Amino acid sequence: MVKPKHMEPDMSKVLIVGAGGVGNVVVHKCAQRPDIFSAITLASRTKSKCDAIAAEIADIDIKTAQVDADNVPELTELIRQEEPQLVINVALPYQDLTIMDACLEAGVDYLDTANYEPLDTARFEYQWQWDYQERFQEKGLMALLGSGFDPGMTNVYTALAAKNYLDEVQEIDIIDANAGDHGQPFATNFNPEINIREVTATCRHWENGDWVESGALQTKRSFDFPEGIGSMNIYRMYHEEMESLVKHIPTIRKAQFWMTFSDNYLKHLEVLQNVGMTRIDEVEYNGQKIVPLQFLKAILPDPGSLGPLTKGRTCIGVIARGWKNGQRKQVYIYNICDHEKCYAEVNSQAISYTTGVPAVVGGIMMLTGKWHKPGVWNMEQFDPQLFLDEVGPMGLPHVVVDGGEWPEL
Ligand code: NDP
């Protein structure tokens, strides 16, 4: 019997699209696994950024290329020329659909870390990508969506709670803490445009079969984080993994997402919003049209430059509540990641690290056939244990606190 291509790890050539903070981590971590990734090509809009990342990898030759991933024929040609088994999309959410189109055209599997968002509307949802289900199935190709940390690991943690710790998951609180500090007056940990669009969006959480809207960052709680991180303020916001989790684990009747923000970050954000600097529509400036948020991105610190400055840890996890053997029960599954250790390993802070490592492990799952079926899938639709067995040794081990008394948020 002829083995499918994805079953032959020695044939696993990968094309990584996007040479930002996450792309840098993905290249480093793929290069650590020559047993899986037999050849690596890194392509992005600015080739010099690809070359700079490639130059950091001593043992393995990383091929680089310039590509505009908004241009389907151009990307399709590159894929045909490189013949990868998998395309890892770590460009921006705006490129998801064009990269999926090029993968279909060239006949190759696809993976990303963030769901599609149109450039002119701050509205992100999975439906645009779920609509590709039949096209991927017909071609026998797979697309794995949201293989970062949140979404990504948080979906896997929820699936693990449902598989091993609860008979029925009824409520989830996804809690994302960055207890690190970069010492800058105001900076974002990943692409500032994407980050600010996300945190200024109207909040939505899932309750009793419906989305409930509230003002952006209007709901605040305090949460006592484990392992000495301590108490921090968390703010409720909309986050994309809730959409797929409530669809695929329909017993969930309440889902909320919480993130920590410092008072300093919120003060700056409020002023920037009030003066119109977070607007995503075009304004006239000196006879030229500019988008204020894109201009703001250009003057804020490059998230990549925060790597050597950031100290402290992240703690991202899921508290799942429900029933086990007829009793109400809670389980908390989380990872703690240290910014400085990440920088020492891959020249990047923990936000890019915690996104890039699951992207690589998602690729390993697909290329080894452990998670492989034609169609478009989210992370919770596969066996979480297989993923966790791989992602721990790759740098993101998890802790399970089985049973606990966290207050309802
Ligand atoms: P960066 O802005 O640092 O990097 C994005 C890269 O994509 C840049 O190299 C950029 O090129 C390139 N790019 C942008 N447009 C195009 C295009 N049209 N064609 C080719 N390349 C293009 O972002 P990050 O690395 O911080 O984030 C990458 C992705 O990871 C984003 O989608 C983000 O939403 C996601 N993410 C997911 C998280 C999760 O936990 N799931 C957490 C954090 C991020 P150029 O350098 O020329 O601008």
Among candidate residues 382, 336, 395, the one with its CA nearest the CA of residue 160: 382
- For 220, the token pair is 């605040």
Q: Boundaries of CATH 3.40.50.720 in the chain?
A: 5-145
DSSP state of 309: G
Under a CB-based contact definition with an 8 Å cutoff, are residues 116 and 128 in contact? yes
Q: Is 358 in the pocket of ligand 1 (CB under 6 A)?
A: no
Q: What is the mean pLDDT of residues 126-149?
A: 98
Instruction: Specify the pLDDT at position 5.
Output: 46
Q: Of the given ranges (7-16, 264-273, 341-350), which has the lowest mean pLDDT? A: 7-16
Distance 99 CA to ligand 1 centre (A): 13
Quick: pLDDT tens for 201-247: 999 999 999 999 999 999 999 999 999 999 999 999 999 999 999 99
Q: CATH number of the domain at 153-347+397-402, out of 1.10.3720.10, 3.40.640.10, 3.30.360.10, 3.40.1280.10? A: 3.30.360.10
Q: Which pLDDT band, with edges at 50, 70 and 90, does 2 fall under?
A: very low
Three-class SS of residue 145? strand
Q: What is the mean pLDDT of residues 264-276?
A: 94
Instruction: Specify the pLDDT at position 11.
Output: 64
Q: Boundaries of CATH 3.30.360.10 in the chain?
A: 153-347+397-402
Q: What is the mean pLDDT of residues 169-187?
A: 95
Q: What is the mean pLDDT of residues 240-260?
A: 98
AA identity, residue 8:
E
Quote the percentage of the chain above a pLDDT of 70.
Answer: 97
| CA-nearest residue, atom 46 of ligand 1 | 46
- For 268, the token pair is 């700056």
Distance 44 CA to ligand 1 centre (A): 9
Instruction: Tell me the CATH number for domain 5-145.
Output: 3.40.50.720
Does residue 73 have a pLDDT over 90? yes
How do strand 327-338 and strand 313-324 relate by DSSP bridges?
A: antiparallel
Rounded to whole angstroms, how far apart are CA atoms 284 and 99? 31
What is the secondary structure of 60-78 as a DSSP string? Answer: SPEEEEE--TT-HHHHHHH
Query: Which residue reads 């445009």 in tokens?
Result: 193
Does residue 1 have a pLDDT over 90? no
Output the average pLDDT for the chain: 94
Rounded to whole angstroms, how far apart are CA atoms 291 and 361? 36
Q: What is the mean pLDDT of residues 7-27?
A: 85
Q: Of the given ranges (63-77, 137-151, 183-197), which has the lowest mean pLDDT? A: 183-197
User: Probe ligand 1: pick from 44, 99, 346, max atoms within 8 Å of CB?
Assistant: 44
**Any residues with CB less than 8 A from the CB of 211 and at least 6 apart, and which?**
204, 205
Q: Which pLDDT band, with edges at 50, 70 and 90, does 19 fall under?
A: very high
Instruction: Specify the pLDDT at position 257.
Output: 98
Does residue 402 have a pLDDT over 70? yes
Instruction: Specify the pLDDT at position 3.
Output: 39
Instruction: Specify the pLDDT at position 27.
Output: 98
Q: Is 314 in the pocket of ligand 1 (CB under 6 A)?
A: no
Instruction: Specify the pLDDT at position 404.
Output: 85
Tell me the helices (H) and strands (E) count for the chain, helix number first.
14, 18
Closest atom, ligand 1, to C-alpha of 302: 3
Q: Which pLDDT band, with edges at 50, 70 and 90, does 124 fall under?
A: confident
Distance 197 CA to ligand 1 centre (A): 14
Q: Is the dihedral of CA 365, 114, 332, 334 positive or negative?
A: positive
Q: Is 305 in the pocket of ligand 1 (CB under 6 A)?
A: no
Quick: pLDDT tens for 149-159: 999 999 999 99
Distance 47 CA to ligand 1 centre (A): 14
